[in-house]
Amino acid sequence: VIDPDSGWPAWRQLADQLRGRILGGELQPGQALPSEERLRQETGLSRNTIRRAILTLRAEGLLLVDPPRGTFVRQPEEVTTVDVSAGTVSARMPTPDERREFSVPEGTPVLVVDHGGGQTSTYPADRVALRVTPGDPPENAS
Amino acid sequence: VIDPDSGWPAWRQLADQLRGRILGGELQPGQALPSEERLRQETGLSRNTIRRAILTLRAEGLLLVDPPRGTFVRQPEEVTTVDVSAGTVSARMPTPDERREFSVPEGTPVLVVDHGGGQTSTYPADRVALRVTPGDPPENAS
DNA sequence: AGAGATTTGTACGTATGTATG
DNA sequence: TCATACATACGTACAAATCTC
């Protein structure tokens, strides 16, 4: 169902279709995607093009790869809520160092809380949410 | 300076080197990266491998591409500060729809504020930071 | 234990299209 | 007009880890 004349790149059409099947619930969290070879047969695209689409969805945080077992729909992680009563919150993609340090998977941002005075806390955004509280709370992070 | 026997993929070594030159200030924001052909000559790698490295840095939010003018080191955007006095803040990668709606560039997360009662606000994380305030403030976002 | 199939990763090459300068 | 530079897309080959028989 990929149309080369649609004006959209084939890899993008495939990524859109797979994303739709994931967000639509047809492909459930934890479930394996069809293998690259299977997708190649189904779509008629080259393996490179298949991989380009999958790479995109990995960067979007929708897929995780466990080679050579397969490619899987991301499971939502258990979210820890951290209280914040003052400071500035921003988000960005982590550096590779930060990805190792905080075990941040592909396609996952980090939340950065600037407490002022050069004091910041960094959290993996797939496992941490920040609760904004009017009171004054404790803190725990690096 | 790419070593095929280092145990690391060539594209990753190149990405690491380019990232280092960007974070180290050798490649300044707004500055153009060497062209793919130039990098090919300098490294001896194939163009596919060069592009794999650049794609990685794009997903990290370090590079923006303006084809076929060139590939450029991302400029920090002007940051608008939005006050938040209550709610839960999280971050994730935007869907393609959200990227269009909020003009979110590649490799940039969105900040999502859950005000409770199904009310959420979404902001592009490269242009918005959230100030956590003890008071009670106004709100403006979709 | 071992052989073979499966699946993802890496890396190469080639060709063509399109927009810019 | 021509060269440059990024995008798309095809193909091939081999490696490494896992799974199955």
CA distance B42 to chain A (A): 24
What's the CA gap between A118 and B39, in Å, rounded?
Answer: 37
Cβ proximity of B63 and B14 under 8 Å: no
Contact A109 B93 (CB under 8 A): yes
pTM equals: 0.94
pLDDT in tens, A52-95: 999 999 999 999 999 999 999 999 999 999 999 999 999 999 99
Q: Is residue B18 a contact partner of residue B38, using CB atoms and an 8 Å limit?
A: no
Give the SS3 label for residue B107: coil
Is residue B142 scored above 80 in pLDDT? no
Please answer yes or no on whether B93 and A59 come within 8 Å at the CB atom: yes
Percent of chain A with pLDDT over 90: 93
- Selecting from A55, A84, A111 the residue whose C-beta is nearest the C-beta of B132 gives A84
Alpha-carbon distance B11 to B55, whole Å? 10
Contacts of B87 (CB under 8 A, 6+ apart): A131, A132, B113, B114, B115, B116
Residue type, B110: V
Question: Both tokens of residue B54?
Answer: 């650049």
Which pLDDT score, from 0 to 100, does residue B136 have? Answer: 61
Contact A134 B134 (CB under 8 A): yes
CB nearest to A88's CB, from B16, B23, B130: B130
As a rounded value in angstroms, the CA-to-C1' distance for B66 and C19 is 10
Cα separation values, B86 from A1, A140, B32, B83, Å: 46, 20, 42, 9
What is the number of alpha carbons within 13 Å of residue B96 lying toward its C-beta? 11
pLDDT tens profile B14-56: 999 999 999 999 999 999 999 999 999 999 999 999 999 999 9
Closest CA to A29 of A41, A40, A21: A21
| pLDDT for res A141 | 53
Find the closest chain B residue to A124 by CA distance: B91
Q: What span, in angstroms and rounded, lies between the C-alpha atoms of B44 and A47?
A: 24
Q: What is the pLDDT of residue B134?
A: 77
Give residue B113's pLDDT.
98
What pLDDT sits at residue B70?
98
Question: Do residues A103 and A96 lie in contact, with contact meaning Cβ atoms separated by under 8 Å?
Answer: no
Q: Which residues in range 77-136 of chain A are in contact with strand C, contact meaning CB within 7 A of any of its atoms?
A: none
| A81-85, A138-142, B82-86: range with lowest mean pLDDT | A138-142
